[in-house]
Structure 1
Amino acid sequence: MFNLPFQHPVSPETAYSKPVAYFSMEFALDQALKIYSGGLGYLAGSHMRSAFQLRQNLVGIGVLWKYGYYDQERNEDNTMRATFREKIYHFLEDTGIRFQIPLLGREVWVHAYYLAPGVFGTAPMFFLTTDTEGNDYAGRSVSYHLYDADPTVKAAQCTLLGAGGGRLLEALGWEPEVYHLNEAHALPLAFFLYDKTRNAGKLREKLVFTTHTPEEAGNEKHNIFFLKNIGFFGRVPLEEVRKITGINDDIFNHTLGALRLSRKANAVSALHGEVARRMWGGYPSICEIISITNAQNKLYWVDRELEASREKGDGGEVAARKRELKKKLFSVVADQTGRLFSPDVLTIVWARRFAAYKRADLLLGDTERFKRLMGNTDRPVQIIWAGKPYPKDEGAIRIFNHLQHLSYLYPGVAVLTGYELGLSKLLKDGADVWLNTPIVGREASGTSGMTAAMNAAINCSTNDGWMPEFARPGENSFILPTITDGNQDEQDRNNLFQLLESEVVPLYYDSKEKWQQIMLTGMNEVAPAFDSDRMARQYYEKLY
């Protein structure tokens, strides 16, 4: 238990009594708390909700980002603008806990805030900030922007989360049996813990690690002397860092370090597990990599009326409620774009973080075919795009702006800004089809389709991430054939158009009963397998 007044709200269930601290750079807990960017945060938020519902002895450790990720707005010409506004959260409690950690070549003050479980129905949460008395601008700015573009600040943020989180648990008088790193961001925790015993074996007994990135290039690497100067390794000398991580050159791979300092690691889908073991299997001395597939919290995400209709097995009632939910979404479409969408028209939604491999613009590579799809007055289609590019990713922003300009040509196309928890819920409630187009092998899990299926949207996806564990094409989803050679973009585009033209669109308009059956089957089969209660149980059973 923590020192008062930060006691765990309930006595944990016996199966979940082992104390665990879960470290993540972002958590999507509620629309009001803007400390997340995308899927990693959504996953962590659902985990914290299920940990609370299952009465697990787990706490979450994160960072209180002063400006969040960013606020997605529009310029005068409707192109995307990233704005940064100070966030103030009156529902967070000041713990009064302050301490210093070595950071950026000096001692930097860290202040801790507490989110009580009763506020949003989560495990107890603690958030760290350097925006506090005693720090200069450089020190304060470490906790300003989630995923700061400056490499020095970004590495300092990792140190704040890891070493700062470890120091906070000391101040709370709470020593977990397991420290869980959700991605390698909090790796400095390992060096903070190692410094106490200088025993790598004892460190590995306590450390577990979740990897989310299926591309080696996407796993962070920095010059080891650069990291040392920032304070990434704390007070551990470089020769010991090299010894315990096995990294002897000057480029320090964060994920490789985590795999060598952890007792066990997990990938976030069965397919990702295969990819991760191929990626890292050639490196000696890494820990075992198992698979625990990501999931989302059904209790938080599902529409209660849809769920009641699903339980009755009433497809017509589900469809009627879906029509009402589409109207709610379309009021946002009208407000943002001036377009009046119809709840009786097939509505396809592509909404997630904008990144090149996710291919938001896959359909646009064949202009004539796209025109035919959008110009069919007998079987009309509406498409909504939404999502946040990284604010410094000019390529992803160009795709977003291209879609925005394209929308002027088609009355059935809308591009929305402000893709956060609130809009995400409306889009999943209002989508008939949830479109997912990543290059196969590059999406570790992807979870947006899970919550879409919970709310009677039918997934239309490449067979990547969690999809191979769920999809039964034509029965609970629509799946593109997997491309093994040739031009994957071109083949996936052709197959997607073929699927939409010959199966999805005709089925929606001509076979209502079959459509409703696929909807119901998807809703029935997405849970409990992809409800985060299953995931949170498996973390205790398989990783902790």
Structure 2
Amino acid sequence: MKNGNLPKVAYFCMEFGLNENFNIYSGGLGILAGDILKAAKDEGYPIVGVGILWRQGYTKQVIDENGRPCDCYPEYVYDFLKDTNVTVKVKIRGRDVAAKVWLCDCFENNPLYLLDTNIPGNPDRLITGQLYGWFDEERVAQEMILGIGGVRALKKLGIDVDIYHFNDSHPILAGIELIRERMEQGMPFEKAWEETRKQIVFTTHTPVEAGNEVHSFELLEYMGAFNGLTGEQMARIGGKPFSMTVAGLRLSKKANAVSQLHGQTAKRMWKGVDNSSEIIAITNGVHNGTWQDRRIADGYNGSNLWELHMQAKREMIEEIYKRNGIRLKEDVLTIGFARRFAPYKRSNLIFTDRKMIEPVLKEGKLQLIFSGKAHPNDLTGKKIVEELYKMTKLYPESVVFLQNYDMKIGKMLTRGCDVWLNNPIRPMEASGTSGMKAAMNGVLNLSILDGWWPEFCIHGVNGWQIGDGYEGEDCDINDAKSLYKVLFEEVMPTYYENRKKWLEMMRESIRMSTENFSARRMLRDYYSLMYEPEVSDLAAAAKE
């Protein structure tokens, strides 16, 4: 698709996952942003990314001899970035902080502009040090660099923007900057806000109210985040205390949730927000070229699908042996679980009843591979990592934990495992894109009916569901029982006794997911449902 008449979009995000060797991402939010820039490059969409060059990344998380996660922050050097010779300034804590702008366009992606405060002589040069590191003051400073600095960078680069897309709430101070600009030109606040909304769309991700970012007014004022607006004006936008998500809803003309189920959840969560934008549902997608094994994409309809899958499985087994010194068996059912180790994702649910799961592990009928990072400040998540590491010692030939989860491990597991396990507490998984990557490689999903999975799950045809969508307080017990029942009565018998059906399910999984859950489909939806209507409104307003 090559269309010069499409609206120009600036896609703001705190993180971008483009390559495992470019450590400016933490998890699904960043991978989504990176996939969007890659799909935009493939399809010719006029989208540019705006983010931060995190010099120390998210965290390099390794496991010590006691099984405890340890966080370290190397200083990364990226020689492949291009110097734009542009620097912007943002006043933070009363001091001008400079941010240099770098360009990344070397991973088959549309241009990504990254702000960097690591400049000699700069006050607070480590603002762009650690992604999601430190505490509230640093977070607000980072969001000021991204939002306020990002808008100023686009202006200095001479990039005209039709639509500003805020991926999650971190960039919303860009909206405050756009209002300030209009007010500086003589426009009253109400009119400036109204005109700014016509240019902004907003993606909300977190389906738990407590997980949405809130800042105190005192902190925002001290940091300089009011950026020329009054406290009363800021309160009208984000409330008091200041909710970043509420601000996103009130600064945008349209907002989207990231799956159909999440759309229902988000509308319930934010129905009390007056002057909110409409929330629609656009289900996430992933970049086929990055996540789908080319052998599978080209050959899944042929007679050798099993051999193609086994090639990927053998490669995974070999890589695990190199990393962990453990050689898994290629003829044993292998289940993968890799994602952020947030407690609601219940990484250890399969070990709820050890008496149930232990026999098949000891008998060599089942292999489990885990990988993931807990947030450096999430002590509960780190405890789960520790518990899973202990399982690798109890079942050394059947349970593996791959430390320091990254894109490389994600690709390997979503191609080489037989089954992809996903068991969050419903409805707390907004989307869950790892399952999409697995599905388009013929790795069958075994999943709670949460996120994207309810939209195309046909139990026993393209994967399996765990439970019936139950959301009660005792869901852990209910879901664990269902997991064991489906695993022992359907998944394992099919794998070991009915290869014909397993292959049919693999093909159906690939057919179901390859286009429906692709980033190119998602971008088509963004343009038709979010971007182009906004530009039509702008054009109509200009004629009035």
Please classify the TM superposition score into its range, dividing by the shorter chain length. Answer: over 0.9
- Cα displacement (A) at 1:16: 5.9
Task: Tell me, yes or no, if structure 1 residue 265 matches structure 2 residue 265.
Answer: no
Task: Tell me, yes or no, if structure 1 residue 407 matches structure 2 residue 396.
Answer: no
Task: Tell me, yes or no, if structure 1 residue 169 matches structure 2 residue 159.
Answer: no
Distance (Å, rounded) in 1 between the aligned partners of 2:305 and 2:131: 39
What is the DSSP-based 3-state SS (H/G/I as helix, E as strand, rest coil) of the residue aligned with 1:181?
Answer: strand
- Cα displacement (A) at 1:335: 2.6
Distance (Å, rounded) in 2 between the aligned partners of 1:365 and 1:446: 22
Aligned to 1:424: 410
Identify which of 449, 473, 498 aligns with 2:459. Answer: 473
Aligned to 1:305: 295
Aligned to 2:277: 287
Q: Does the 8 Å contact 1:143/1:157 carry over to 2?
A: yes
Give the TM-score taking structure 1 as reference length. 0.94
Q: Does the 8 Å contact 2:238/2:244 carry over to 1?
A: no
Task: Tell me, yes or no, if structure 1 residue 225 matches structure 2 residue 218.
Answer: yes
The aligned amino acid for 2:222 is N
Task: Tell me, yes or no, if structure 1 residue 84 matches structure 2 residue 73.
Answer: yes
- Cα displacement (A) at 1:74: 2.7
Q: Does the 8 Å contact 2:427/2:471 carry over to 1?
A: no
For residues 323-402 of structure 1, what are the structure 2 equivalents within 5 Å? 323-377=310-364, 380-402=365-387
Aligned to 2:99: 110
Distance (Å, rounded) in 2 between the aligned partners of 1:79 and 1:148: 19
What is the DSSP-based 3-state SS (H/G/I as helix, E as strand, rest coil) of the residue aligned with 1:284?
Answer: coil
Distance (Å, rounded) in 1 between the aligned partners of 2:67 and 2:313: 24
- Cα displacement (A) at 1:542: 0.6
Aligned to 1:126: 113
Q: 1:153 to 1:246 in 2, by over 3 A?
A: closer
Q: 1:34 to 1:479 in 2, by over 3 A?
A: same
The aligned amino acid for 1:319 is W
Q: Does the 8 Å contact 2:444/2:505 carry over to 1?
A: yes
Q: 1:127 to 1:342 in 2, by over 3 A?
A: same
Aligned to 1:502: 489
For residues 62-73 of structure 1, what are the structure 2 equivalents within 5 Å? 62-73=51-62
Identify which of 421, 433, 441 aligns with 1:447. Answer: 433
Distance (Å, rounded) in 2 between the aligned partners of 1:242 and 1:487: 39
Q: Deviations over 1:208-246 (max 9, x none)?
A: 100001111110111112112112221222222224x16
Task: Tell me, yes or no, if structure 1 residue 214 matches structure 2 residue 207.
Answer: yes
RMSD of aligned residue pairs (Cα, Å):
1.3
Q: Does the 8 Å contact 2:238/2:246 carry over to 1?
A: no
The aligned amino acid for 2:270 is W
What is the DSSP-based 3-state SS (H/G/I as helix, E as strand, rest coil) of the residue aligned with 1:332?
Answer: helix
Give the TM-score taking structure 2 as reference length. 0.94
- Cα displacement (A) at 1:521: 0.4
Distance (Å, rounded) in 2 between the aligned partners of 1:521 and 1:443: 24
What is the DSSP-based 3-state SS (H/G/I as helix, E as strand, rest coil) of the residue aligned with 2:446?
Answer: strand
Task: Tell me, yes or no, if structure 1 residue 522 matches structure 2 residue 481.
Answer: no
Task: Tell me, yes or no, if structure 1 residue 194 matches structure 2 residue 184.
Answer: no
- Cα displacement (A) at 1:486: 5.2
Distance (Å, rounded) in 2 between the aligned partners of 1:78 and 1:398: 10
Name which of structure 1's ranges 368-377 and 197-206 shifts more when overlaid on structure 2. Answer: 368-377
Task: Tell me, yes or no, if structure 1 residue 24 matches structure 2 residue 13.
Answer: yes
- Cα displacement (A) at 1:15: 7.1
Distance (Å, rounded) in 1 between the aligned partners of 2:499 and 2:407: 30
Q: Deviations over 1:238-268 (max 9, x none)?
A: 222224x162x3x111100110111110000
Q: Deviations over 1:296-320 (max 9, x none)?
A: 011221111112221xx23x51211
Q: Does the 8 Å contact 2:348/2:388 carry over to 1?
A: yes
Aligned to 1:5: none
Aligned to 2:246: 256
The aligned amino acid for 2:157 is L
What is the DSSP-based 3-state SS (H/G/I as helix, E as strand, rest coil) of the residue aligned with 1:34?
Answer: coil
Aligned to 1:6: none
Q: Does the 8 Å contact 2:8/2:161 carry over to 1?
A: yes
Q: 1:30 to 1:246 in 2, by over 3 A?
A: closer
Distance (Å, rounded) in 2 between the aligned partners of 1:246 and 1:215: 18
For residues 25-40 of structure 1, what are the structure 2 equivalents within 5 Å? 25-40=14-29
Q: 1:256 to 1:517 in 2, by over 3 A?
A: same
Q: Does the 8 Å contact 1:16/1:540 carry over to 2?
A: no
Distance (Å, rounded) in 1 between the aligned partners of 2:428 and 2:131: 23
What is the DSSP-based 3-state SS (H/G/I as helix, E as strand, rest coil) of the residue aligned with 1:214?
Answer: coil
- Cα displacement (A) at 1:497: 0.5
Q: Structure 2 unaligned runs (5+)?
A: 184-191, 532-544
Task: Tell me, yes or no, if structure 1 residue 149 matches structure 2 residue 134.
Answer: yes
What is the DSSP-based 3-state SS (H/G/I as helix, E as strand, rest coil) of the residue aligned with 1:538?
Answer: helix
Q: Deviations over 1:93-149 (max 9, x none)?
A: 111111211112211011010012xx111111100011113313xx11110000123
What is the DSSP-based 3-state SS (H/G/I as helix, E as strand, rest coil) of the residue aligned with 1:422?
Answer: helix
Q: Does the 8 Å contact 1:16/1:55 carry over to 2?
A: no
Identify which of 93, 99, 104 aligns with 2:82. Answer: 93
4+ residue segments displaced more than 6 Å: none
Q: Deviations over 1:318-367 (max 9, x none)?
A: 21121121121112322333221011111000111100100000011111
Q: 1:289 to 1:369 in 2, by over 3 A?
A: same
